[in-house]
Amino acid sequence: MTRTPQEPQASGTALPGRPPIVDLATWRAAREELLVREKAHTRQGDALAAARRRLPMVEFDGTVEVVGAEGPVPFLDLFQGRDELLVYKHMWHDGAPHQGQCEGCTTAAWHLRDAVYLNARGVSFAILTTGAWAEVAPFVEFMGYTQPWYSVRGLDEPVGGAMGYLTCFLREGDRVFLTYSTTGRGNEPANIALALLDMTPYGRGEDWEDKPEGWPEGRHACWYWRSDAEGNATWGPTSRPVPQWTRPGATPVATLGRHGHHH
């Protein structure tokens, strides 16, 4: 059975809560106009990266021990013989079940599941967390993470300290230096889903976004980072961070088991 193609609506008409309908030539002109701004934005990002490369650095003791799958190891080992190291500092809620762990950090860790392209450029990668290793190890196994995790419990900055950061380190022999650190929206490069959502008509669906009149109302930031067993976005006690539902053995839950946020 052949389908009759739907006739395009006339240029200038509008659908409620949708972009205006135009012909392809008009769309291309608007797209080209935005591209000028996008290229300027890219060049500004390049300039910021150039300034980032020129930041000073701070030396610290690379022999401080962190705890991983092989037991206590000096921080220097995380470089795996390479000169550069990028880490993500994953928040931890002591005593919480898997579903009660940090949903924001899950977005970063899930997108950073593989470091082969970093490794090819001479950069090692690891995830650090303040959780006790006895709690962290089963969580890492459940999530199926293959990148190395380490407990930095009780350690001071820059190895320990506040979590929720992307942090860069440089090695010179046995000397170790902190070169860069960022948090909040600075972590967004780790989360490709956010950049892709920004390309779509409705964006992230968050209430802070600037959107045209008649667009769907936004919800609180990151509202879709947790869902229930049916896939409905919710931050209630039946939720898990979204990718956990893909893990073998993930079951419906009734509690997040968290008592406050131990960042």
In tens, the pLDDT along 42-86 reads: 999 999 999 999 999 999 999 999 999 999 999 999 999 999 999
* Residue 163 vs residues 62, 93, 250: alpha-carbon distances, Å: 19, 11, 26
* Residue 43 vs residues 24, 37, 49, 263: alpha-carbon distances, Å: 28, 10, 10, 35
In tens, the pLDDT along 72-130 reads: 999 999 999 999 999 999 999 999 999 999 999 999 999 998 999 999 999 999 999 99
Give 13's pLDDT tier (boundaries 50, 70, 90): confident
Q: What percent of the chain has pLDDT over 70?
A: 94
* Residue 102 vs residues 51, 207, 223, 240: alpha-carbon distances, Å: 31, 21, 13, 10
182: pLDDT strictly greater than 70: yes
| Pairs from 144-150 (Cβ < 8 Å, separation ≥ 24) | 144/247, 145/109, 145/113, 146/113, 146/114, 147/112, 147/113, 147/114, 147/115, 148/68, 148/69, 148/78, 149/68, 149/69, 149/90, 150/66, 150/67, 150/68, 150/73, 150/78, 150/126
* Residue 217 vs residues 15, 159, 203, 214, 226: alpha-carbon distances, Å: 16, 41, 11, 8, 19
**pLDDT at res. 260:** 46
How many angstroms separate the CA atoms of 161 and 263, rounded? 9
The sign one gets for the Cα dihedral 69, 72, 73, 79 is: positive
Give 2's pLDDT tier (boundaries 50, 70, 90): low
How many angstroms separate the CA atoms of 203 and 209, rounded? 8
Q: What percent of the chain has pLDDT over 90?
A: 91
Q: What is the CATH number of domain 58-184?
A: 3.40.30.10
How many angstroms separate the CA atoms of 73 and 128, rounded? 13
**pLDDT at res. 4:** 55
**pLDDT at res. 122:** 98
Which tokens in the block code for residue 186? 């600075």
Q: Which H or E run includes 34?
A: helix 24-53
263: pLDDT strictly greater than 60: no
Specify the pTM: 0.91
